[in-house]
Structures are given as structure tokens and as C-alpha cells.
Amino acid sequence: MTELKIQHLLTLSYLLSKGAKYNYVTITTSALGKNIHKSQQAASKHLLELEQNKFISRIISGRNLSVKITNKGYSEIVKLSSMLQKSLDSYPSVVNLQGTLVSGMGEGAYYMGLKGYTKQFKSKIGYVPFPGTLNVRLDKKIHQEAMKQFETLDGVKIKSFSDGKRTYGWVKCFSAKLNNSIKCQLIILERTHHDESVIELISKTCIRKNTKLKDGSKISIKIEIDS
């Protein structure tokens, strides 16, 4: 049994939309050609091949060419379409990162403890994070590159604020899971302090204390993407 050639898909789809599931629809090959962005000759050949493989049946009377999709042809469209639909409906919406636990410079603790932030954290992510951030260095290029997409993803936005002396930039939060178990947030800062291969995580409690993780430990992080 010959498979449906992928380049015939558009032709079948066009015929279907013209009602060729239940009727012999009368068409011209040049109209079909225009629709599938091919020449009249190519369209003619498509129909001949489709007929040969029993995906359509053709009736010619005089100048008129009429075409109807067979059950076999229809089920091929359905098959392909649902395969595509399935991969669109259920592709993994998770960013997987791997890296190594490293030391920050303690500034995370300072910033995360500011009232202007903590108030928002409480209401927007549901808890006041432990004052301090967990820094993870992404060792592989694929993970560093994957981070770039967070620039355009939304996440939960913690607004910038000012204490009169200076302003503190916004923070974007993304729900994450560390080593498949510990709930935390990946945070993206408006003003980043270190190079792009290091990411920062916050969580309710002090992860370093509650686990045996220390500098140099290998870490995996999964970040859920909503949209």
C-alpha cells in the first residue's frame, strides 16, 4: 500500500474544502494549481497520482474534470492531521536545565529581603522567599541558550519600586522544580549582575540547609511554561 505523498496534502485539503468528501466536485487543474502554489501541470499530475493510488477518484466528461475523495484518501488526511494536532497539543511545555551549584556574592539575600519585594512575593507567588538566592551555573551551551527565551516569556511579574534613594528593577518569576522535588522559582532580574550562564533560584526555605547540596553539586531544574 503506497503512502500518501506529503506534497499531495495541500491538494487533498483543497478538494476537501470544496466538498469532495461527498461529491464529485468539478474543478480545473489551473485553479487547483493556483491554490496550491504550483503550476497547472503539477496540479494535473497530483490528481493523476492521487487517483493511481486510490486517494481520489476522477470522472472526466468532455472538458470537465470532477473529483471525489475516497475513504482511503480521507482517512489519510485525518491521520496526518491528527498526528500533527497531537504533537501540537501535547508537546512538553517544560524547560529542562542542568548546572552546577555555585556561590553568589550575598547580594541576593539583601535584595530578596527588601520589603518592596517581599510584599509582592507574598501575594504573587504565595510565600516570602528565604532571603538569599541559589545560584546555578549552566555548564552546557544548550542550557545557556535555552535561557534566552525567558526574555520574551511572561512569568509572574514583580514590579520595580523605589525607596526614595534608588529604584529596584522588576523581577520575573517562573515556577520551577529543583532535582525533581524542591519547589522553587527561577527569577529573571531586570538588571542582571552576573554573566548569563548563571541563573538564580528562590524558595520558601533555605535549600542549602535542607538538602546536602553544596557548591559543585550537579543540579537539574524543570521550569513549567504556561502559555
Among 56, 95, 173, 221, binds a second copy (CB under 8 A): 95
Sequence-distant contacts of 140-147: CB under 8 A, at least 24 apart: 140/98, 143/97, 143/98, 143/99, 144/196, 144/197, 146/95, 146/97, 147/97, 147/196, 147/199
Note whether 167 and 160 are within 8 A (CB): yes
Nearer to DNA, 60 or 88 (CB): 60
CA distance 168 to 173: 15
Name the grid cell of 112: 530578596
Using the rule CB under 8 A, give the single segment among 17-25, 47-55, 189-197, 213-221 that binds a second copy. 17-25
Closest residue by Cα to residue 213 from 179, 177, 180:
179
Using the rule CB under 7 A, give the single segment among 42-50, 71-79, 80-88, 132-140 that binds DNA. 42-50
Among 44, 66, 100, 175, binds a second copy (CB under 8 A): 66
Among 17, 23, 39, 103, binds DNA (CB under 7 A): 39
Q: Does 42 bind a second copy (CB under 8 A)?
A: no
Among 143, 171, 202, 203, binds a second copy (CB under 8 A): 143
Q: Residue-wise over 57-81: b if at least 16 C-beta within 10 A, else e?
A: eeeeeeeebebbbbeebbebbeeee
Residue 208 binds which entry of a second copy, DNA, none, with Cβ cut-offs from 5 to 8 Å by kind? none
Residue 123 binds which entry of DNA, a second copy, none, with Cβ cut-offs from 5 to 8 Å by kind? none
* Shortest distance, position 29 Cβ to DNA, whole Å: 4
First to last CA, the chain: 41
Closest residue by Cα to residue 51 from 60, 61, 62, 41:
60
Q: Does 29 bind DNA (CB under 7 A)?
A: yes
Nearer to DNA, 49 or 80 (CB): 49
Q: Does 41 bind DNA (CB under 7 A)?
A: yes
Nearer to DNA, 50 or 125 (CB): 50
Residue 44 binds which entry of a second copy, DNA, none, with Cβ cut-offs from 5 to 8 Å by kind? DNA
CA distance 174 to 184: 8
Closest residue by Cα to residue 54 from 12, 107, 23, 83:
12
Q: Does 214 bind DNA (CB under 7 A)?
A: no
Positions in the binding site for DNA (CB under 7 A): 5, 7, 27-30, 33, 38-42, 44-49, 58, 60, 63, 65
